[in-house]
Structure 1
Amino acid sequence: MNDPAKPTREQRLAQRLRDNLHRRKAQSRAMATQDSADATGDTDAGHLPNGAPPR
């Protein structure tokens, strides 16, 4: 029943927190790129990596 290869609840939650942090950092970098592109007038750099238009 206790499979050593199966992560515990705490390990799963810790991994989810790390993944969320990475995702939020990437979003923050994309927003910063968008803000700097808006300031310079560059319209192409404002798009998010997945192709979604900026808000």
Structure 2
Amino acid sequence: MSKSEDERAKRLAEALRLNLRRRKAQARGEAADDAAKADSPPRPSGESDVTD
């Protein structure tokens, strides 16, 4: 393989690994939780997640 083919193969392999991690996280439900946290505005300090 040429140098550019090797680089392309490495990029594709990395993209496949990232995609696999993302799909596994989504299957576990973690991706939905992370997306919800990213969409919500940050809370002022002193407020907690715990509700009484």
Instruction: Give your verdict on TM over 0.5.
Output: yes
Structure 2: unaligned runs, 5 residues or longer: 35-52
Instruction: Percent identity, please.
Output: 19
Structure 1: unaligned runs, 5 residues or longer: 1-12, 45-55
Q: Which protein shows a greater Rg?
A: 2
Length-normalised TM-score, structure 2 = 0.56
Structure 1 consecutive aligned stretches of length 4 or more whose deviation exceeds 2 Å: none
The amino acid across from 2:21 in the alignment is T
Alpha-carbon RMSD across the aligned residues, in angstroms, is: 1.5
In the alignment of these two chains, the number of paired residues is: 32
Length-normalised TM-score, structure 1 = 0.53
- Which structure ranks higher in relative contact order (CA pairs < 8 Å, sequence separation ≥ 6)? 1
Q: Distance in 2 between matches of 1:29 and 1:20?
A: 14
